[in-house]
């Protein structure tokens, strides 16, 4: 539990912005609750509530985002959601488009049916008006009136008509046409919509000379109700609205918007209130009480006729509009569209069912194919995820089964190859670390085998410096005190670097120590040592070696060499002499014994022995330190005592190499014959 809490606190502390945000939001919520309880309905409470609600929005958004990330972590879920968006969105869009197109088509079909019906009625009215005006022109007034009274298509539909007759002798009207002017403006014959006062009519007017006959169909609520009685649509006629209400090529009808306070209107057209004498308030919302929801459904559409004329003057009223508001049943329209025959309807249904079955089958095949692909991709991704988690746990033996020949399969192959490479690399790293530890141990052992870098015995003092070029060097030096003021200095250089070279160097050291202990010196010791190396089955056994026996009492030094670098003798006067001894290194069969040389070594004399790493050290340009530079450095610092002389020599070497790594091991041994105190 302590770990969980600590982890939660650390995770939470990584988001100081959210910490401050939650603190402020909590304070706002508490303040809103306190103020709301203390002063309900106050402005302060309302402001705090608004701020709290606004503050919660980022929190809700972040929570939804986090939830979305959690839900869509799996690739299969994302693919499934993508399929839903790509595969099902077209259905929703198609359904919406079908509803819109269906609405327009059904509405336009209803408008066409209403227009055709009105044209049929007006045509019948025009026929009767033409017959009546012919009778009136021949003076048969009574017969003309009989032709206009009742009968005709309007009577069959239950529509109420009015009529007007006039000639030179007088005017005659139906009872409902009292006060209506006779349309003397007509040419020969005309039919359309006319307006007089607040009333609108569907009119058919015919004229011969001074004889005029007009049949008028009032476009009122009663005739509108009769016009659609028994049909799948209902009609209400609206007249007198400004023409701006219907734009060219379109309709701008706003339905169900109440008028001004006290104004009795059911809807507005382009802001113009339509009086309830044309469309009653309850008509828009009225629905059949029986039948299914599909049977009770009603849509609203409009039919727009030509601009009406004034009944008295015949002037075309371009600023007025006459239209029919249609409330229709979509089921009735579809049944009417496919015809009254049950056979036609069944055939259409059968065709739709067959098409639906075919398209549904195709869609199911596509869904099955997509589902198979989604499942295959999800399984492949799950295998990759399991492999990745196993590797994260350290199981480098995990391999992902390759069951696909696609990018995911290639990714699995790459994952397996990467895991194998990592396993091999870690094994190599472990092996290198083991070797490094062994080499470091060998280096420590090698350094422990070397004598101290400073030694004094009687008037003799020795200073040494050892610097390997690799982890384990091949250079070697040793000091053997035979008696006070008498010692043997040995120095060698095993060819090569690394652990085998270090082991050979250790063997040489042990052999030299044993031979000196047995009493061997100089060239005899070198011959014994060479015989020992030749008896070993070693691939690399070449060793350059030098041996110097210094005796302070006799003031002499004996030097024997086996192919080693020449020593340098500095006498008390400051003269520098290079001790040259030509011979082969150890590990070769010598034609002659190893050469020896005895030199005077009085008080104040110094002997320098070194490995080839000193003279072969080069700078960045490849120029070696060289013998000449070595002798020049010794001459420049000949007045310095032993430690300072050795330090000055190494400083000049470092300046020459300027940080460039040594190409070979470096060993320098300086022996000084100091004056005896007192």
For 355-391, how does the pLDDT look when each residue is reduced to its tens digit (9 = 90+)? Answer: 888 988 887 888 787 777 777 777 777 777 778 788 7
Break the chain down into helix, strand, coil percent, rounded to 5. 50, 20, 30
User: Does some domain include residue 12?
Assistant: no
Q: What is the pLDDT of residue 92?
A: 85
Do 369 and 456 belong together in one domain? Answer: no
Q: What is the pLDDT of residue 488?
A: 95
Nearest to 167 by CA among 204, 136, 146, 193: 136
As a whole number, mean pLDDT of residues 257-266 equals 50
Question: How would residue 289 be classed by pLDDT, with cut points 50, 70 and 90?
Answer: low
Q: What is the pLDDT of residue 203?
A: 93
Do 400 and 492 belong together in one domain? Answer: no
List, in sequence order, the alpha helices (H) in 450-573. 499-517, 522-534
Q: What is the pLDDT of residue 533?
A: 85
- Structural domain containing residue 414: 339-449
Q: What's the number of CA atoms in the CB half-sphere (13 Å) around residue 177? A: 26
Angle at 178 between CA 172 and CA 181, to 5 degrees: 75
Would the pLDDT of 145 be above 60? yes
Do 611 and 661 belong together in one domain? Answer: yes
Q: What is the pLDDT of residue 3?
A: 39
**The 3-state secondary structure of 424-479, one letter per residue:** HHHHHHHHHHHHHHHHHHHHHHHHHHCCCCEEEECCEEEEEEEECCCCCCCEEEEE
Q: What is the pLDDT of residue 624?
A: 92
Whole-number Å distance between alpha carbons of 298 and 109: 14
Condensed to tens digits (0 to 9), the pLDDT of residues 459-502 reads 999 999 988 877 666 788 999 999 999 999 999 988 876 677 77
Q: Residue 174 carries which DSSP code?
A: -
Question: How would residue 205 be classed by pLDDT, with cut points 50, 70 and 90?
Answer: very high
The pairing of strands 543-551 and 211-218 is unpaired
User: Does some domain include residue 466?
Assistant: yes
Would the pLDDT of 251 be above 60? no
User: Does some domain include residue 243?
Assistant: yes
Angle at 30 between CA 29 and CA 32, to 5 degrees: 65
Would the pLDDT of 286 be above 80? no
Nearest to 640 by CA among 577, 574, 579: 574
Q: What is the pLDDT of residue 213?
A: 92
Do 496 and 444 belong together in one domain? Answer: no
In which residue are the tokens 């249904």 written? 349
Beta bridge partners of 240: none
Best-predicted range by mean pLDDT among 150-164, 440-454, 630-644? 630-644
User: How far, CA to CA in Å, does 414 sit from each of 46, 378, 387, 400, 623?
Assistant: 62, 18, 12, 10, 50
Would the pLDDT of 508 be above 90? no
Whole-number Å distance between alpha carbons of 398 and 391: 7
User: Does some domain include residue 95?
Assistant: no
Q: What is the pLDDT of residue 472?
A: 65
Q: What's the number of CA atoms in the CB half-sphere (13 Å) around residue 265? A: 19
Do 305 and 254 belong together in one domain? Answer: yes
Q: What is the pLDDT of residue 644?
A: 92
User: How far, CA to CA in Å, does 422 sit from each of 410, 418, 427, 513?
Assistant: 18, 6, 8, 49
Q: What is the pLDDT of residue 87?
A: 75
Q: Burial level of 89, CB count in 10 A (0-12/13-18/19+)?
A: exposed
Best-predicted range by mean pLDDT among 321-325, 485-489, 502-506? 485-489
In which residue are the tokens 């070449």 written? 542
User: Does some domain include residue 3?
Assistant: no
Q: 128-132, 322-326, 380-384: which range is least confident on average?
A: 380-384
Q: Residue 538 carries which DSSP code?
A: -
Do 402 and 439 belong together in one domain? Answer: yes
Would the pLDDT of 224 be above 80? yes
As a whole number, mean pLDDT of residues 257-284 equals 66
User: How far, CA to CA in Å, does 188 sit from each of 130, 207, 317, 323, 360?
Assistant: 9, 5, 20, 26, 62
Contact 55, 24 (CB under 8 A): yes
In angstroms, what is the C-alpha Rg of the chain? 60
Contact 235, 305 (CB under 8 A): no
As a whole number, mean pLDDT of residues 1-13 equals 40
Q: What is the pLDDT of residue 560?
A: 94
Which of 399, 420, 449 is the last residue before a domain boundary? 449
Whole-number Å distance between alpha carbons of 141 and 133: 9
Question: How would residue 669 be classed by pLDDT, with cut points 50, 70 and 90?
Answer: very high
Nearest to 148 by CA among 168, 173, 182, 167: 173
How many Cβ atoms from other residues are within 10 Å of residue 382's Cβ? 13
Question: How would residue 187 be classed by pLDDT, with cut points 50, 70 and 90?
Answer: confident
Q: What is the pLDDT of residue 1?
A: 36
Whole-number Å distance between alpha carbons of 490 and 481: 12
Q: What is the pLDDT of residue 663?
A: 79
User: Does some domain include residue 474?
Assistant: yes
Which of 280, 311, 337 is the last residue before a domain boundary? 337
As a whole number, mean pLDDT of residues 279-301 equals 76
Do 173 and 287 belong together in one domain? Answer: yes
Domain total for the chain? 4
Angle at 495 between CA 492 and CA 499, to 5 degrees: 95
Give the three-class secondary structure for 480.
strand
Give the three-class secondary structure for 593.
coil
Do 474 and 373 belong together in one domain? Answer: no
As a whole number, mean pLDDT of residues 142-150 equals 85
Do 520 and 617 belong together in one domain? Answer: yes
User: Does some domain include residue 76?
Assistant: no
Which of 337, 369, 399 is the last residue before a domain boundary? 337
Condensed to tens digits (0 to 9), the pLDDT of residues 17-66 reads 777 778 887 887 888 788 778 887 788 878 878 888 888 888 888 888 88
Whole-number Å distance between alpha carbons of 201 and 118: 12
Best-predicted range by mean pLDDT among 42-56, 595-609, 650-664? 595-609
Do 190 and 222 belong together in one domain? Answer: yes
Contact 384, 74 (CB under 8 A): no
Q: What's the number of CA atoms in the CB half-sphere (13 Å) around residue 611? A: 28
Give the three-class secondary structure for 654.
helix
Question: How would residue 241 be classed by pLDDT, with cut points 50, 70 and 90?
Answer: low
Q: What is the pLDDT of residue 479?
A: 93
Do 345 and 333 belong together in one domain? Answer: no
Q: What is the pLDDT of residue 501?
A: 77
Helix axes of 642-657 and 626-636: crossing angle, nearest 10 degrees:
140
Q: What is the CATH number of the domain that holds 527?
A: 3.60.40.10
Q: 401-415, 422-436, 456-470, 591-605: which range is least confident on average?
A: 401-415
Q: What is the pLDDT of residue 556?
A: 94
- At 269, list the tokens: 């057209």
Do 35 and 142 belong together in one domain? Answer: no
Whole-number Å distance between alpha carbons of 553 and 105: 133
Whole-number Å distance between alpha carbons of 242 and 239: 9
Q: What is the pLDDT of residue 7?
A: 41
Using a pLDDT cut of 70, give the percent of the chain over it: 87
- The torsion region of residue 481 among left (phi > 0), alpha (psi -120 to 50) and beta comes to beta
Alpha-carbon torsion (97, 98, 99, 103), positive or negative: positive
Q: 7-11, 48-52, 166-170, 447-451: which range is least confident on average?
A: 7-11
In which residue are the tokens 């299969």 written? 76
User: How far, CA to CA in Å, does 70 sit from each of 179, 375, 428, 439, 609?
Assistant: 81, 19, 40, 52, 76
Question: How would residue 246 be classed by pLDDT, with cut points 50, 70 and 90?
Answer: very low
Give the three-class secondary structure for 647.
helix
Element housing 140 (H / E): none
Using a pLDDT cut of 90, give the percent of the chain over it: 22
Contact 236, 227 (CB under 8 A): no
Characterize 100-134 residue by residue with b for buried, 16 or more Cβ atoms within 10 angstroms of its Cβ, and e for exposed.
eeeeeebbebbbebbeebbeebbebbbbbbbbbbb
Question: How would residue 69 be classed by pLDDT, with cut points 50, 70 and 90?
Answer: confident
Beta bridge partners of 382: none
Angle at 443 between CA 465 and CA 493, to 5 degrees: 55
As a whole number, mean pLDDT of residues 531-549 equals 83
User: How far, CA to CA in Å, does 557 sit from each of 222, 265, 486, 488, 489?
Assistant: 150, 138, 10, 9, 10
Q: 162-176, 289-303, 546-560, 593-607: which range is least confident on average?
A: 289-303
Would the pLDDT of 255 be above 70? no
Q: What is the pLDDT of residue 15?
A: 61
User: Does some domain include residue 79?
Assistant: no
């Amino acid at each position: 539990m302590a770990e969980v809490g600590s982890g939660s606190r650390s995770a939470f502390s990584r988001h100081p912005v959210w910490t401050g945000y939650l603190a402020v939001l909590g304070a706002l919520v508490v303040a809103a609750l306190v103020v709301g309880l203390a002063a309900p309905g106050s402005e302060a409470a309302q402001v705090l509530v608004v701020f709290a609600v606004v503050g919660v929005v980022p929190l809700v958004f972040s929570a939804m985002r986090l939830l979305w990330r959690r839900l869509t972590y799996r690739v299969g879920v994302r693919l499934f959601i993508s399929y839903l968006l790509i595969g099902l969105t077209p259905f929703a869009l198609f359904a919406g488009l079908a509803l819109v197109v269906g609405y327009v088509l059904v509405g336009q079909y209803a408008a066409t049916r209403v227009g055709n019906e009105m044209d049929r009625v007006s045509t019948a009215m025009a026929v009767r008006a033409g017959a009546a005006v012919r009778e009136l022109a021949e003076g048969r007034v009574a017969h003309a009136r009989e032709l206009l009274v009742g009968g005709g298509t309007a009577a069959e539909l239950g529509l109420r008509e009015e009529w007007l007759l006039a000639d030179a002798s007088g005017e005659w009207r139906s009872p409902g046409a009292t006060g209506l002017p006779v349309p003397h403006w007509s040419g020969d014959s005309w039919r359309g919509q006319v307006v007089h006062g607040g009333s609108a009519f569907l009119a058919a007017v015919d004229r011969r000379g001074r004889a005029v006959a007009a049949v008028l169909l009032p476009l009122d609520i009663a005739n509108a109700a009769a016009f659609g009685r028994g049909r799948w649509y209902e009609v209400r006629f609206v007249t007198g609205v400004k023409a701006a209400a219907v734009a060219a090529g379109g309709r701008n009808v706003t339905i169900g918007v109440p008028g001004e306070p006290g104004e009795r209107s059911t809807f507005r057209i382009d802001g113009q209130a339509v009086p309830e004498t044309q469309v009653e308030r309850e008509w828009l919302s009225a629905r059949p009480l029986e039948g299914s929801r599909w049977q009770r459904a009603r849509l609203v559409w409009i039919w727009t006729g030509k601009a009406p004329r004034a009944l008295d003057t015949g002037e075309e009223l371009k600023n007025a509009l006459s239209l029919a508001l249609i409330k229709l049943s979509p089921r009735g329209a579809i049944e009417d569209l496919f015809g009254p025959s049950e056979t036609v309807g069944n055939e259409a249904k059968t065709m739709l069912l067959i098409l639906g079955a075919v398209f549904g089958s195709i869609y199911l095949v596509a869904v099955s194919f997509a589902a198979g692909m989604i499942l295959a991709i999800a399984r492949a991704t799950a295998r990759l995820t399991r492999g990745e988690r196993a590797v994260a746990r350290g199981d480098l033996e995990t391999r992902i089964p390759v069951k696909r020949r696609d990018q995911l399969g290639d990714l699995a192959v790459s994952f397996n190859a990467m895991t194998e490479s990592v396993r091999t690399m870690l094994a190599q790293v472990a092996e290198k670390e083991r070797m490094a530890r062994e080499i470091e141990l060998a280096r420590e052992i090698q350094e422990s085998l070397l004598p101290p870098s400073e030694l004094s015995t009687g008037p003799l003092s020795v200073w040494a410096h050892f610097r390997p070029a690799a982890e384990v060097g091949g250079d070697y030096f040793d000091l053997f005190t035979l008696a006070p003021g008498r010692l043997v200095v040995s120095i060698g250089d095993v060819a090569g670097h690394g652990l085998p070279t270090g082991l050979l160097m250790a063997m040489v050291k042990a052999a030299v120590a044993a031979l000196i202990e047995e009493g061997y010196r100089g060239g005899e010791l070198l011959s014994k040592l060479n015989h020992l190396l030749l008896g070993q089955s070693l691939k690399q056994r070449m060793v350059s070696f030098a041996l110097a026996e210094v005796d302070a009492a006799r003031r002499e030094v004996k030097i024997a060499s086996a192919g080693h670098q020449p020593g340098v003798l500095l006498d008390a006067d400051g003269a520098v002499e290079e001790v040259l001894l030509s011979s082969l290194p150890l590990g070769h069969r010598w034609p002659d014994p190893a050469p020896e040389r005895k030199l005077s070594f009085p008080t104040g004399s110094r002997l320098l022995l070194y490995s080839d790493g000193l003279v072969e050290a080069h700078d960045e340009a490849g120029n070696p330190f060289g013998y000449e530079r070595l002798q020049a450095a010794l001459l420049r610092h000949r007045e310095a005592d032993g430690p300072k002389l050795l330090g000055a020599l190494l400083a000049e070497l470092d300046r020459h190499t300027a940080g460039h790594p040594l190409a070979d091991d470096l060993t320098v041994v300086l022996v000084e014959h100091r004056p005896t105190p007192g």
